[in-house]
């Protein structure tokens, strides 16, 4: 099948399929005319690639582990040849979990900021900072840049400017 048909069957753009080919993730046959010729097995391989990308793996790592699945990457059960990839896959998983932790922290901070939004009766910046600190259990970062953005000027004593 041609690349357009593979795109229709998989829901992946022709551009992405060409990229997968360039990265060595797909190995289509070439016709004398230069057109790529894909097989029915490539539909499953593209599905596997999409799953691994969704899991957060980059195409370089996918190229290294794709062979670890039955049927040239199309099967569901890893083969024993993947044992050498455990370290790399574990590192990728650790990076994903760290990103999840960072996003969770950011989401909690945003929720606290929203909850601490000033009301009509008390809209001071310091009151809002106390509310955020109380909601998160963390001190509000009192930096010169944050203060400047909030319109607060802090005078430094001669001793603290050294």
- Please state the rounded mean pLDDT for residues 56-62: 89
Contact 57, 22 (CB under 8 A): no
Q: Mean pLDDT of all residues in the chain?
A: 79
Which pLDDT tens digit goes with each residue over 125-145? 666 666 666 666 666 555 555
Q: Which two tokens stand for residue 110?
A: 């945003």
Q: Which residues, at least 6 apart from 146, have a Cβ–Cβ distance to it below 8 Å? A: 140
Q: Which two tokens stand for residue 94?
A: 């650790």
Which pLDDT tens digit goes with each residue over 86-107? 888 888 889 889 999 999 999 9
Looking up tokens 């001190």 gives 139
- Give SS3 for 29: strand
Alpha-carbon distance of 160 to 162, in angstroms, equals: 6
Whether residue 2 is predicted with pLDDT greater than 80 in this model: the reply is yes
The predicted pLDDT at position 154 comes to 47
Which pLDDT tens digit goes with each residue over 7-56? 999 999 999 999 999 999 999 999 999 899 999 999 989 998 998 888 88
The predicted pLDDT at position 115 comes to 85
**Beta-bridge mates of residue 30:** 36
Domain segments of the chain as ranges:
1-78, 82-144
In CATH, which of 3.40.50.720, 3.40.50.300, 1.10.1660.10, 2.30.110.10 is domain 1-78? 1.10.1660.10
The predicted pLDDT at position 156 comes to 46
Q: Which residues, at least 6 apart from 112, have a Cβ–Cβ distance to it below 8 Å? A: 131, 132, 135, 136
Strand 36-37 and strand 29-30: the pairing is: antiparallel
């Amino acid at each position: 099948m041609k690349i357009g048909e593979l795109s229709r069957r998989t829901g992946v753009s022709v551009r992405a399929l060409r990229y997968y080919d360039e990265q060595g993730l797909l190995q289509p046959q070439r016709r004398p005319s230069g057109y790529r010729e894909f097989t029915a097995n490539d539909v499953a391989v593209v599905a596997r690639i999409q799953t691994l990308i969704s899991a957060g793996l980059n195409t370089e790592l996918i190229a290294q582990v794709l062979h670890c699945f039955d049927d040239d990457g199309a099967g569901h059960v890893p083969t024993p040849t993947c044992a050498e990839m455990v370290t790399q896959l574990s590192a990728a998983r650790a990076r994903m979990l760290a990103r999840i932790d960072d996003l969770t922290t950011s989401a909690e901070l945003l929720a606290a900021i929203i909850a601490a939004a000033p009301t009509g009766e008390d809209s001071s910046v310091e009151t809002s900072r106390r509310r955020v600190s109380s909601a998160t259990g963390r001190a509000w970062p009192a930096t010169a840049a944050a203060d400047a953005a909030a319109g607060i000027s802090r005078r430094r004593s001669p001793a603290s400017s050294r």
